[in-house]
Chain A
Amino acid sequence: MDFISILSVFVLACFVGYYVVWSVTPALHTPLMAVTNAISSVIIVGALIASAAGSVGSAGETAKWLGLLAVVLASINIFGGFAVTARMLAMYKKKAR
């Protein structure tokens, strides 16, 4: 993808984000933060690339270990973020009866 198409995706996604987030009910703002936190860990993609490419290239070895550490951190976030969101959302119940 060239820079302009990437930029287009980015700008359009900002608008999508704007409208989607305004429609989130204020009661769910804490789960919103938890889940956005989990999905922003999609940065794990970069970490995986660094780890996988690791042993190739001169500075690859250091890059690999940095990548692996980033994989650990991002995984904590992904699993922790989704799990804590699920736990919170399960608590929101309508009036019984």
Chain B
Amino acid sequence: METFAPLAYLVAGVCFILALRGLSSPSTSQRGNRLGMIGMTIAVVTTLVTHFPQAKTGGAGFAIDPLVAGEILAAIVIGAVIGIVTARRIPMTAMPQLVAAFHSLVGLAAVLVACAAFLNPAAFGIADLVIPLIGAPFESIHPVSRIEMGLGVAIGAITFSGSVIAFLKLNGNMGGKPILLPARHVINLGLLAAILGLIGYFVQDQAPWVFWTITVLSFVIGFLLIIPIGGADMPVVVSMLNSYSGWAAAAMGFTLHNSAMIITGALVGSSGAILSYIMCKAMNRSFISVIAGGFGGDSGGGAGAAAAVDRPWKRGSAEDAAFLMSQAEQVIIVPGYGMAVAQAQHVLREMADKLKAHGVRVKYAIHPVAGRMPGHMNVLLAEANVPYDEVFELEDINSEFAQTDVAFVIGANDVTNPAAKTDKSSPIYGMPVLDVEKAKTVLFVKRSMGGVGYAGVDNEVFYRDNTMMLLADAKKMVEEIVKSLD
């Protein structure tokens, strides 16, 4: 039994590594997910058999407390029902909110576990009974465990409150516009210093007020960190919170000396960190500037003044678009957040099917930051039954625009703006963009000419000779194009 448990946890950890490994290709991904489930089952079963609910009698014999066992089972069943029902019912467009909500649960669970460990350290085997000369005997928590516990509760609390705000913003309960407090950097840095200082002091003194103050301050800083970040920066925020939830699990793994938790925490932590890095790079912004916040309200919501639209531009109709595309050899579709908002992915696939029937080659080009979370567009297209081998990443397809007859931009804007390549004064200068303007014709679906993208910059593509603006709701416009294709 003594060596069995650590071995089983190690196997669980390896299962989790293989689960992520499976995601390197869609064909192996489902097997990977099943390995993840197996790993989790191993971890849970191992914990239950090694920490079997014992009756209060203790000491003599190994009596199972049926009440506690029943309570644990009930807790798992309640969670399973809520989780499975949510997972089945959630629409794919709401995936970013769901992920944020799940992150908040991991954070809160970490906080609760840390609190439980603080209240009952003996159960976790992290304390020694001290019998002082004066006063009652007490459990003295090991100094290393105090640091781990302090870090665990702090990261967990930040993950929780940060994810709640991210959820509210993504779900539309809270405006996407950044909320800027005066002197927020000073407040945040001060809070951070206070939390770290208290964790240091916690090693000296395991007084309850220290622990609870760390917890409360961490909730506050998580909240303050996310409110100034705009809707368009959410892909970075969601990835960052993903990372934090991993570090929280790892910190608790240190406390419990549990390799499954440590391996998982490290995996999830690095996964989130890498995704944040990819997102930042795709926007050509530094991580610090995203975290500092204040950039980017709702897309299309007219951050900054509406662009001057007195320059000449061409307006097209659904019939024009249908004709142009049906005559094309190759069409590249560039989807963005607007497509998700309009829920246009299904009708878009219908359009692609019609085009294919006309003998047109159809491809999709995805910018890494399109949408509200990494891979958002890919999931929506997959939901609409678009085969994944028709969907390409920016670097794989960008050179093809020059040989393409029609680039069909739907709900994207800044990611197509050539100013990012040429205009050094532009706020998005240096961001990698899709070279849609190199296609023979650009069809740009947009609600109106007035609004600009989240970066608040005008897009040169609108006014080019080879661009035709299709001004309407994305879904309605594509529906009309589908009708015209018949």
Q: Which residues of A contact B (CB under 8 A)?
A: 1, 3, 6, 9-11, 13-14, 16-18, 20-57, 59-60, 62-64, 66-96
Q: Does any Cβ of A come within 8 Å of B264's Cβ?
A: yes
Interface string of B273-297 (1 = CB under 8 A from A): 0110010000000000000000000
Quick check: B52 and A52 within 8 Å, CB to CB? yes
Which of chain A's residues have a CB closer than 8 A to the CB of B24?
23-25
Known: A10-B262, A75-B78. 18 other contacts (CB 8 A): A13-B17, A24-B20, A26-B374, A32-B375, A37-B245, A39-B268, A40-B265, A41-B106, A42-B261, A45-B44, A45-B256, A51-B71, A71-B72, A71-B76, A77-B79, A77-B105, A81-B87, A87-B87
Contact among B25, B39, B265, B268 for A25, CB-based, below 8 A: B25
In the assembled complex, the CB of B396 is this many whole angstroms from the nearest CB of chain A, namely 10
Q: A43-B109, A89-B30, A93-B385 are in contact. Are A37 and B103 (CB under 8 A)?
A: yes
Q: Which 8 A-B pairs have the closest CB atoms?
A: A75-B79, A80-B83, A29-B375, A53-B123, A79-B83, A17-B270, A13-B266, A29-B374
**What are 28 A-B residue pairs whose CB atoms fall within 8 Å in the complex?**
A6-B253, A13-B265, A16-B266, A23-B24, A28-B378, A30-B373, A34-B95, A36-B242, A36-B246, A37-B242, A42-B261, A44-B109, A50-B123, A51-B68, A53-B123, A54-B68, A55-B55, A56-B122, A62-B119, A63-B123, A75-B75, A76-B86, A77-B106, A84-B90, A84-B95, A86-B33, A91-B385, A93-B387
Quick check: B80 and A75 within 8 Å, CB to CB? yes
Quick check: B387 and A94 within 8 Å, CB to CB? yes
Quick check: A38 and B40 within 8 Å, CB to CB? yes
Which of chain B's residues have a CB closer than 8 A to the CB of A66?
112-113, 115-116, 119
In the assembled complex, the CB of B351 is this many whole angstroms from the nearest CB of chain A, namely 17
Quick check: A13 and B263 within 8 Å, CB to CB? yes
Quick check: A80 and B21 within 8 Å, CB to CB? no
Quick check: B65 and A55 within 8 Å, CB to CB? yes
Q: For residue B12, which residue of chain A has the nearest CB?
A: A42
Quick check: B20 and A89 within 8 Å, CB to CB? no
A46 to B56, CA, bound (A): 20
A95 to B391, CA, bound (A): 11
Quick check: B112 and A67 within 8 Å, CB to CB? yes
A54 to B78, CA, bound (A): 19
Q: Which residues of B contact A (CB under 8 A)?
A: 6, 12-13, 16-17, 19-21, 23-27, 29-30, 32-33, 36-37, 39-40, 43-44, 47-48, 51-56, 58, 65, 68, 71-72, 75-80, 82-84, 86-88, 90, 92, 95, 98-99, 102-103, 105-106, 108-110, 112-113, 115-117, 119-120, 122-124, 144, 238-239, 242, 245-246, 248-250, 252-272, 274-275, 278, 366, 368, 373-376, 378-379, 382-383, 385, 387-391, 393
Q: A70-B109, A71-B75, A73-B105 are in contact. Are A48 and B48 (CB under 8 A)?
A: yes
A67 to B40, CA, bound (A): 18
Number of residue pairs across A and B with beta carbons under 8 Å? Answer: 397
A78 to B149, CA, bound (A): 23
Quick check: A9 and B262 within 8 Å, CB to CB? yes
Which of chain B's residues have a CB closer than 8 A to the CB of A73?
79, 105-106, 108-109, 112
Which of chain A's residues have a CB closer than 8 A to the CB of B122?
53, 56-57
Which of chain A's residues have a CB closer than 8 A to the CB of B106?
37, 40-41, 43, 73-74, 77
A71 to B77, CA, bound (A): 10
A30 to B248, CA, bound (A): 21
Q: A20-B267, A39-B40, A67-B112 are in contact. Are A1 and B382 (CB under 8 A)?
A: no
Quick check: B390 and A95 within 8 Å, CB to CB? yes
Which of chain A's residues have a CB closer than 8 A to the CB of B123?
49-50, 53-54, 56-57, 60, 63
Q: Which of A25, A42, A50 has the largest count of B CB atoms less than 10 A from its CB?
A: A42
In the assembled complex, the CB of A64 is this many whole angstroms from the nearest CB of chain B, namely 7
Quick check: B379 and A40 within 8 Å, CB to CB? no
Quick check: B99 and A93 within 8 Å, CB to CB? no
A23 to B69, CA, bound (A): 41
In the assembled complex, the CB of B78 is this many whole angstroms from the nearest CB of chain A, namely 5
Quick check: A33 and B20 within 8 Å, CB to CB? no
Q: Which of A37, A39, A76 has the largest count of B CB atoms less than 10 A from its CB?
A: A39
Q: A33-B374, A75-B75 are in contact. Are A49 and B51 (CB under 8 A)?
A: yes
A51 to B115, CA, bound (A): 12
A40 to B270, CA, bound (A): 12
Which of chain A's residues have a CB closer than 8 A to the CB of B110?
43
Which of chain A's residues have a CB closer than 8 A to the CB of B56?
55-56
Which of chain A's residues have a CB closer than 8 A to the CB of B387?
93-96
Quick check: A10 and B119 within 8 Å, CB to CB? no
Quick check: B72 and A46 within 8 Å, CB to CB? no
Q: For residue A44, which residue of chain B has the nearest CB?
A: B44
Which of chain A's residues have a CB closer than 8 A to the CB of B83?
75-81, 83
